[in-house]
Amino acid sequence: MKLRNHYLKENVTGYLFILPQALLFLLFIVYPILEGLRLSLFKVQYQKETFVGWDNYVTLFNDPVFFKSLVNTVVFVVFIVVLTVAFALFVASSVFDKNAKYVSFIRGSYYIPVMVSMVVMSMVWGFLLNPANGLISYAARELEFSTVNLLGNKNTVMPVIIFVTFATNVGQAIILYIASMIGVPKDLFEAAEVDGASRVQVIFKILIPLVKPTTLYIAIMNIIAVLKIFVVIQLLTGGGPNNSSVTMMYYLYNNAFKYNQLGVASAVGVIMFLITFLLSVPQLRAMFKEK
């Protein structure tokens, strides 16, 4: 008993130090998750809440738009994350060992879109792509092409959103990769040079394996961010045409704030939480294993 008391006394300072963060975590992360779980089992009306069991989930699984949003979200995650990692690796591995000023210039130019708010970026793209009075469609008309409406075509709307999101996000990944690559010990490159390794071999055999923790971090962060993709959809397409670009987050938003179906929206939230959790666990485990 005395030993236990002593052990507790030893650690109480530590616990007190993490207490504010733990309180905030409980209040702003754990409580909303539990509340979301609870609400997903209720029908929420202005004056009352009624327990409906799994009804909200049944509603979801009977709604084809929900499945469309699920598929679209997966497509976004796969394409945006793969494009971001591949392009960032390409740019970073091409420039990391060049002149410092040149590296700074490249870093800066790719980072500018990251600093600009996604809302502003979406509005600029919206102006460019508007089929009736946008710049791209105007140019197409002037050049005597047929009417261009990339956002109104269900085959082109997804690639456009993928490109816009990728172009806005890739700067962050490039910065992280360049920093990570600059940190790779120089003697490895020198040894490779002595052995007569080509640039491609250096990149694939030394650089990419050594920046694996960064790749994992970028992949996890981007997966989580893209799962929640919303602003671009809301401002550019409104989920259209005919729900072709609706994502889970947009579907959740519509249910919660446009249709006032808080229970259904919470059920979407719970499903999104589970997906993110399942996707993140193996990657986090791999990351901790590395360390």
Partner 1 sequence: MKIKNRISKWVMLGLVLVLAAGCASKENGGQENGSANAGSAKKKVEIALWLTPQWKGVFEASEANADYDSFFKYAAEKFAEQYDKYDVKVNVQVVAGDQRDELLNVNLNGGTAPDIFFESVFAMGDYAHRGALAPLNDIVDDAAKQDIAQSYWDNVTFGSDVYFYPFSHNPGTFAYNADMFKAAGLEKFVGGETEIKTWTLAEYEEILEALKTKLPKDQYSNAYPMALFALNNQADTWNLAYLRMFGNPFFDEQGKIVIDDERGVKSGEWLKKIYDAGYTNPGAESVSSNDANAMFQNQQLAISFTNAVLFNNAKADMEAGKAPKFDVRLANIPSESGDPLSFTYVVGSSVFNTGDEVRMQVAKDFVKFYSTDAELVKASKNGIPVRSSVAAEFKDQYPLFAAYDANAKYMFAFTGNVPGYSELRQVLYPELQAIYTDEKSPAQAIKDYQEKGNAVIQKAKENSTIK
Residues in contact with partner 1 by CB under 8 A are 12-13, 16-17, 19-20, 23-24, 43, 45-47, 129-133, 137-138, 141, 147, 149, 151-154, 237-243, 254, 256-260, 262
- Closest to partner 1 by CB, 109 vs 260, is 260
Q: How far apart, in whole angstroms, are the C-alpha atoms of residue 195 and residue 128?
A: 51
Cα 203 to chain centroid distance, Å, stands at 26
Q: How far apart, in whole angstroms, are the C-alpha atoms of residue 180 and residue 173?
A: 10
- Closest to partner 1 by CB, 39 vs 173, is 39
Query: Smallest distance, Å, CB 233 to partner 1?
Result: 12
Contacts made by residues 63-72, CB under 8 angstroms, sequence distance 24+ = 65/243, 65/246, 65/251, 66/251, 66/268, 68/243, 68/244, 68/246, 69/243, 69/246, 69/247, 69/248, 69/250, 69/251, 70/248, 72/158, 72/244, 72/245, 72/246, 72/247
- Closest to partner 1 by CB, 129 vs 218, is 129
Q: How far apart, in whole angstroms, are the C-alpha atoms of residue 107 and residue 84?
A: 15
- Closest to partner 1 by CB, 20 vs 53, is 20
Query: Smallest distance, Å, CB 235 to partner 1?
Result: 11
- Number of other CB atoms surrounding residue 210 within 10 Å: 15
- Closest to partner 1 by CB, 226 vs 262, is 262
- Closest to partner 1 by CB, 223 vs 267, is 267
User: What are 47's two structure tokens?
Assistant: 């004056």
Burial (CB count <10 Å: 0-12, 13-18, 19+), residue 235: middle
Q: How far apart, in whole angstroms, are the C-alpha atoms of residue 204 and residue 185?
A: 16
Q: How far apart, in whole angstroms, are the C-alpha atoms of residue 105 and residue 46?
A: 54
Query: Smallest distance, Å, CB 46 to partner 1?
Result: 5
Query: Smallest distance, Å, CB 149 to partner 1?
Result: 4
Query: Smallest distance, Å, CB 98 to partner 1?
Result: 42
- Closest to partner 1 by CB, 84 vs 243, is 243
How does DSSP classify residue 42? E
Query: Smallest distance, Å, CB 193 to partner 1?
Result: 53
Query: Smallest distance, Å, CB 162 to partner 1?
Result: 17
Place of tokens 């002593």: 6
Cα 27 to chain centroid distance, Å, stands at 24
- Closest to partner 1 by CB, 45 vs 201, is 45
Query: Smallest distance, Å, CB 23 to partner 1?
Result: 7
Measured in degrees and rounded to the nearest 5, phi and psi for residue 51 equal -70, 125
